[in-house]
Amino acid sequence: MIRKAVFPAAGLGTRFLPATKAQPKEMLVLVDKPIIQYGVEEAAAAGVNHIILVTGRGKNAIEDHFDVSIELETFLEARGKTEQLAEIRKVSNLINFAYVRQGEPLGLGHAVLVAAELVGDEPFAVVLGDDVIDAQPSALKQMADVFERVKGPVLAVERVPESEVSAYGVVDIAESLGDGVYRIKDLVEKPPRAEAPSNLAIIGRYILTPDIFPALRATAVDRTGEIQLTNGLRRLLKQRPIYGYEVKGVRHDTGNKLGFLKAVVYFALRRPDLAEPFRKYLKTIDGENRA
Ligand code: G1P
């Protein structure tokens, strides 16, 4: 059972400036829910009940979002707005939250290390909130089931176009174990296209074991000045098997503008209250663009 999930959320979100000048990028909204809540709900659906958010300066809105708001609850209660009340209570009741600050922007591997003490000596998940995955069962639940089977670290992987491999950690496969599960031979962080061992990219979900911590402590910063989780995993691979798993679902990379916009449209079209009028509207602007 995976009880804890680490959410690195210390990044500055410079790709979305000026929207992210005074607001964390994790709080940008897909329809009516902040991006990070999609990841939190996914983790909750996998049985996670402790979330460790690795934050930095200017991220208070995330803490407030997952906290109880007595003022708002009293207001909604007094006005008999029971539906909205239930919705916001769901958020604060979802799970336990702990916050730890990264301090310096030393990369994803460092963010995971900062959470070491709160994770303790048990397997845990890492969720990169930018990747929003629509899946049933939830992506992390699928991965937790694979973890039960293989009893080793599981990284979510996805085939990406070759032109995009240099934006990801890329895995080299030793063997396929069936049903989307692979044993990994090697992994490399953001290789040039010509040097990529495959087009199987690591996407933002990991189930890790606590032996990743000593491996990360022994991992030097790379040429970008960061400790890469991929390089820590590469070190750990010398000691134990590590697995890749192709999640069955639809992933949106909301960390770039086009991916973000696609995700807004995708989730709006899945909402019973919005799908029909929104689809109608989209058809009209498509016509205008062609005219
Ligand atoms: C990080 C990881 C990379 C992984 C990616 C998935 O990179 O370092 O290995 O493929 O997340 O989103 P980032 O996107 O933070 O640059």
Measured from the Cβ of residue 264, the count of other Cβ atoms closer than 10 Å reads: 16
Ligand 1 center to 201 CA (angstroms):
9
Tokens of 160: 């990406």
For residue 278, how far is its CA from the centre of ligand 1 (angstroms)? Answer: 33
- Run of H or E residues at 101: strand 96-101
Give yes or no for residue 152 CB within 6 A of ligand 1.
Answer: no
Classified as helix, coil or strand, 25 is helix
Number of DSSP helices (H) and strands (E) in the chain, helices first: 11, 13
**CA separation for the pair 44, 27 (Å, rounded):** 18
Dump pLDDT digits (tens) for 93-122: 768 999 999 988 899 999 999 999 999 999
Angle of helix 275-290 relative to helix 257-268, nearest 10 degrees, comes to 130
* Closest ligand 1 atom number to CA of residue 11: 15
Pairing verdict, β 50-55 and 96-101: parallel
Q: Does domain 4-255 have CATH number 3.90.550.10?
A: yes
Residues 6+ apart with CB under 8 A from 150: 177, 181, 241, 243
Q: Are 162 and 183 in contact (CB under 8 A)?
A: no
- Report the distance separating Cα 214 and Cα 232, nearest Å: 9
Q: Tell me, what's the pLDDT at 287?
A: 63
Helices (H), 197-256: 212-217, 229-236
Quote the ligand 1 centre to 250 CA distance (angstroms): 17
List the chain domain ranges. 4-255
158 CA to centre of ligand 1 in angstroms: 12
Any idea what DSSP says for residue 201? E
Q: Is the CB of 133 under 6 A from ligand 1?
A: no
Q: What is the pLDDT of residue 59?
A: 87
Closest CA to ligand 1's atom 11: 204
Could you tell me the distance, in angstroms and rounded to a whole number, from the CA of residue 91 to the centre of ligand 1? 27
Distance CA 157, CA 162 (A): 14
Our CA dihedral for 192, 155, 136, 162, rounded to 10 degrees, sits at 10
Distance 195 CA to ligand 1 centre (A): 17
33-34 and 29-30 beta bridge pairing: antiparallel
The answer, yes or no, to whether any atom of ligand 1 lies below 6 A from the CB of 202, is yes
User: What whole-number distance in Å separates Cα of residue 206 and Cα of residue 247?
Assistant: 11
What is this structure's pTM?
0.93
206 Cβ inside 6 Å of ligand 1: no
Residues 155 and 206 sit within 8 Å (Cβ to Cβ): yes
Q: Which atom of ligand 1 is nearest to the CA of 168?
A: 10
Question: C-alpha angle with apex 24: 23 to 26, nearest 5 degrees?
Answer: 135
Please tell me if the CB atom of residue 9 comes closer than 6 angstroms to any atom of ligand 1.
no
Compute the chain's Rg from CA coordinates.
20
Please state the atom number of ligand 1 nearest to the C-alpha of residue 253. Answer: 12
User: What is the per-residue pLDDT for 162?
Assistant: 94
168, 199, 222, best to mutate for ligand 1 pocket (most atoms within 8 Å of CB):
168
Residue nearest to atom 7 of ligand 1 (CA): 168
Q: What does 123-180 look like in DSSP terms, one character per residue? A: -EEEE-TTEEEE-SS-HHHHHHHHHHHH-S-EEEEEE--GGGGGGSEEEEEEEEEETT
Pocket lining: 230 vs ligand 1, CB cutoff 6 Å: yes
Distance 108 CA to ligand 1 centre (A): 8
**Residue in the structure block whose two tokens are 């639940």:** 141
Q: Which amino acid is at 283?
A: K
Low-confidence ranges of the chain (pLDDT < 70): 91-92, 94, 287-291
If one residue of 108, 216, 230 were mutated to test the ligand 1 pocket, choosing by the most ligand atoms within 8 A of its CB, it would be 108
